[in-house]
Chains A and B, each alone.
Chain A
Amino acid sequence: MRFVDEFRDPAVITRTCEEIRRLTDPSRHYRFMEVCGGHTHAIYRFGLRDVLPAGIELIHGPGCPVCVLPMGRIDDGLALARDPRVIFAAFGDMMRVPGAHGSPLEHKAGGRDVRIVYSPTDALKLARSNPDRHVMFFAIGFETTAPSTALTLVRAKAEGIRNFSVFCNHVTIIPAIRAILDSPDMRLDAFIGPGHVSTVIGCRPYEWVARDERKPIVISGFEPLDLLQSTVMLLRQLRAGEAKVENQYARVVPWEGNRAALAAMAEVFQLRPYFEWRGLGFISQSALRIRDEYAAWDAERVFDIPGVRVTDPKAAQCGEVLKGVLKPVQCKLFGRECTPERPVGALMVSSEGSCAAYYNYEHRKAAAALAAPA
């Protein structure tokens, strides 16, 4: 596969790891946070922790849009699926996320019309071909995905499709990074920045991280060589005492972002004054809602949404794991009450959630650690 295989070249990976070792100060412990859940998944999938020196610790950040969604929002969306007129459409990522009354997949098994879509345009297509039903698309994602939802709504409005609505749970990345840096228990040296969000927002929005917080941040791609090269760039900045924004993913990320994507978002969405993030609490100006001009396609206005607030079980430590304060294996429920088959929190369901990644790729080592005498 072009633009993929080159960045998985074993010989080049091995040499890049040698360079990383050369740049690593053996007396120092480095803490790099990868913000984006996609990077978390890539790190585990490619086994990168095996090839990085022990002194480099990768902390998993909150950039997993499924993980940060409070359970109440899932319940709200599923409440709508109980209406036999409604087709509940969502990405596969949402299907196993537990609501208070079951996951979307469990609702489907119980006879509700729940469908997996690959694209919001596929949900719109469902609306076109099912004129006597109403298709409600449960939208999630950061700025990578929001423009696609926006354009889909623009198309729905232009075509006058009235049996379609969006339940909008899009969130923005910068407030999440701010919450991490504001958190008193965090000690980070640098950031591996989200590559695909940046194809939309560009690299400018991160400048305050380098300038004000004095932390290096490298916007990274998702292949092994991308992540390893980003690690090289971060180590070089730290050695030189620098803190700046660098774009490692230049083959895809434009420094100024994608104007048309930002314009589509601005046309359809506005910022909510505040939004509740699982584990991070209420953050102001951190999530998107649909503008009045598109009210007829806003599920929260078309339907009576219960507005349920559901707190996580006390024992679940999703918040601390999300913030990178705790490793998944340190959560009391990990691997016991909370497993991929019976997840308590979204971090165990989402393939990007640190708990799922840890469990799926590492759990036997973790289980051995748990079983070892204290």
Chain B
Amino acid sequence: MCLAIPGKIVDVAPDMPHLALVEVAGVRRRVDLGLLQDSLPGPGDWVLIHVGFAMSRISEEEAEAQMQTLRMLGEDAAALEEIRGYGAGE
């Protein structure tokens, strides 16, 4: 029910502010911004696209925070292993 892809707004038609040109890996399509009219995104913003409509603005901060959390998963684990290693030597 849910094929939605991140795309970057590259252009907004001045006479049709709810219609943006969005780019996904070099592929472009007109996307309707009507569902985000409360806070219209503009060129340079990333949005989630589903059936030709922008569903949500993508938060770069949240994305980075998520990657940080995930990267730290491994580091925490590595630290734990190290500590266990000290104990095993005794």
Task: Tell me the total A-B contact number using a CB cutoff of 8 A.
Answer: 138
State whether A147 and B56 are in contact (beta carbons under 8 Å apart), knowing that A36-B1, A260-B38 are contacts in the complex: no
Determine which of B4, B24, B77 lies in contact with A1 in the assembled complex, contact meaning CB atoms within 8 Å. Answer: B24
For B34, the chain A residues whose CB sits under 8 A away are 151, 155, 260, 264
CB pairs A–B below 8 angstroms (7 shown): A2-B46, A16-B70, A38-B3, A121-B53, A144-B55, A196-B55, A225-B70
For B24, the chain A residues whose CB sits under 8 A away are 1
- Chain A window 338-355, contacts with chain B (Cβ cutoff 8 Å), 1 for yes, 0 for no: 000000000000001000
- Whether B51 and A2, one on each chain, are in contact in the complex, defined by CB atoms closer than 8 angstroms, is no
CA distance A329 to B64 in the complex (A): 40
- CB contact list, A1-54 vs B, under 8 A: 1-4, 6-7, 11-12, 15-16, 18-19, 22, 36-39
State whether A151 and B2 are in contact (beta carbons under 8 Å apart), knowing that A6-B63, A18-B77, A260-B38 are contacts in the complex: no
CB closest residue in chain B, given A119: B52
A203, chain B: closest CB distance, angstroms: 13
B14, chain A: closest CB distance, angstroms: 19
CB closest residue in chain A, given B71: A12
Indicate if B74 sits at the interface (CB-CB under 8 A). Answer: yes
The B interface, classified by DSSP as helix, strand, loop or mixed, is mixed
CA distance A254 to B71 in the complex (A): 24
- Whether A6 and B2, one on each chain, are in contact in the complex, defined by CB atoms closer than 8 angstroms, is no
Indicate if B6 sits at the interface (CB-CB under 8 A). Answer: yes
State whether A252 and B58 are in contact (beta carbons under 8 Å apart), knowing that A120-B51, A195-B2 are contacts in the complex: yes
Indicate if B12 sits at the interface (CB-CB under 8 A). Answer: no
- Whether A145 and B36, one on each chain, are in contact in the complex, defined by CB atoms closer than 8 angstroms, is no
Indicate if A314 sits at the interface (CB-CB under 8 A). Answer: no
A120, chain B: closest CB distance, angstroms: 7
- Whether B8 and A258, one on each chain, are in contact in the complex, defined by CB atoms closer than 8 angstroms, is no
- CB contact list, A181-201 vs B, under 8 A: 194-197, 199-200
CA distance A39 to B2 in the complex (A): 8
Indicate if B10 sits at the interface (CB-CB under 8 A). Answer: no
A residues engaging B (CB < 8 A)? 1-4, 6-7, 11-12, 15-16, 18-19, 22, 36-39, 63-65, 91, 118-122, 141-142, 144-145, 147-148, 151, 155, 194-197, 199-200, 222, 225, 229, 232, 248, 250-254, 258-261, 264, 352
- Whether A3 and B66, one on each chain, are in contact in the complex, defined by CB atoms closer than 8 angstroms, is no
Number of residues in B with C-beta < 8 Å to the partner? 37
- CB contact list, B3-57 vs A, under 8 A: 3-6, 8, 24-25, 32, 34-38, 46, 48, 50-53, 55-56
CB closest residue in chain B, given A1: B25
- Whether B50 and A196, one on each chain, are in contact in the complex, defined by CB atoms closer than 8 angstroms, is yes
A260, chain B: closest CB distance, angstroms: 5
Indicate if B90 sits at the interface (CB-CB under 8 A). Answer: no
For A197, the chain B residues whose CB sits under 8 A away are 1-2
For A36, the chain B residues whose CB sits under 8 A away are 1-2
B75, chain A: closest CB distance, angstroms: 9
- Whether B32 and A264, one on each chain, are in contact in the complex, defined by CB atoms closer than 8 angstroms, is no
CB closest residue in chain B, given A68: B1
Task: Other than A119-B51, A144-B4, give 15 A-B pairs with Cβ distance below 8 A.
Answer: A2-B46, A3-B46, A11-B74, A65-B1, A91-B51, A120-B51, A148-B32, A199-B55, A200-B55, A229-B70, A232-B73, A252-B56, A258-B35, A259-B38, A260-B38
